[in-house]
Amino acid sequence: MAVSAFVLIRTEADKTRSAFENLAKLKGVKMAHTVTGPFDIILLVEAKNLHELGDVILTKIRGVEGISRTMTCVTVETG
């Protein structure tokens, strides 16, 4: 069963642009936005299952240079 999540990301100072460009290219990232507020970037990520979603977040997203913190919100209902 496919799953999706919003991933809220904080970046190191002056790393937002390069992190955004690298994140937007990742497989599974359906939307990427730079935003204002307590987070710098928000992604919509889709995966085949929770295991694959975890892999994308833990290895691919967190592996991007300049990422200092992530918060993941798995979707439970869409409309």
Give pLDDT tens digits for 5-61: 999 999 999 999 999 999 999 999 999 999 999 999 999 999 999 999 999 999 999
Range of the domain at 42: 3-74
What's the pTM? 0.94
55: domain CATH number? 3.30.70.920
Cβ neighbour number for residue 40 with a 10 Å cutoff: 24
Residues 60-67, mean pLDDT to the nearest whole number = 96
Per-residue pLDDT, 73:
98
> How many domains does the chain divide into?
1
Q: Which helix (H) or strand (E) holds 42?
A: strand 41-47
Sheet containing strand 3-11, strands side by side: 29-34, 41-47, 3-11, 67-74
In a domain, 44, yes or no: yes
- Is 80 exceeded by the pLDDT of residue 1? no
